[in-house]
Amino acid sequence: MQSIILASQSPRRQELIHRITDDVEVIVSEAKEILPAGIAPAEAPVYLATLKAGAVAVNHPGRVVVGADTVVILDGKLLGKPKDKDDAVQMLKALSGRVHTVVTGCCIICGGKSRAFGEKTKVEFYPLTDREIEEYIATGDPFDKAGSYGIQGKGSLFVKGIEGDFFNVMGLPVGRLNRELHDFLTADN
């Protein structure tokens, strides 16, 4: 596999991309993450991943650039990263005892070609007590994560079950991305 530029500042994505290849350079995208009005929630992370990858690819023509973005969707609404403690509490209370969908959008760009996709995973939470929520928020873990939780850390204690790719919930669907990269790089376009 050729060298990849990962257009992401996420430490989780930086860790996960190494399951695909160790030949990775991280260049954080400076793209303004602004969604167009009326975009469907499941399309939002694909749009943002494409924006991020494109902003980096423009300065690195001929290199393979991967962008990614993850959102949590509940009741047809996006739950991004919490603005503050109260926002995190509200999100976790909304997720309590319910099933939500995590969508990670990925975009691969190289040499004027691009490929983008979204991967969905359903996650069910146990009912959460106020004390559980407060203790989790006190760890500081929720503040840089969509939906106010990380499945790879203490947030895992809330998860009753998942349907789909575990790594997708962490922020990068490594199995599918590996296949998409292989197809992209070997396609005769």
Give the bridge partners for 105, in sequence order.
69, 118
Query: Which candidate, 58, 55, 83, places its Cα nearest to that of 69?
Result: 55
Alpha helices in the chain, H assignment, sequence order: 11-17, 44-57, 85-95, 130-138, 166-170, 174-186
Give me 151's structure tokens.
């499945």
Question: Rounded CA gap, 126 and 157, in Å?
Answer: 9
* Tokens, residue 35: 């969604």
Q: What is the spatial distance between Cα 54 and Cα 38, in angstroms, rounded to a whole number?
A: 22
Catalytic residue flag (residue 183): no
Catalytic residue among 22, 69, 86, 130: 69
Among all residues, which ones are annotated catalytic?
69
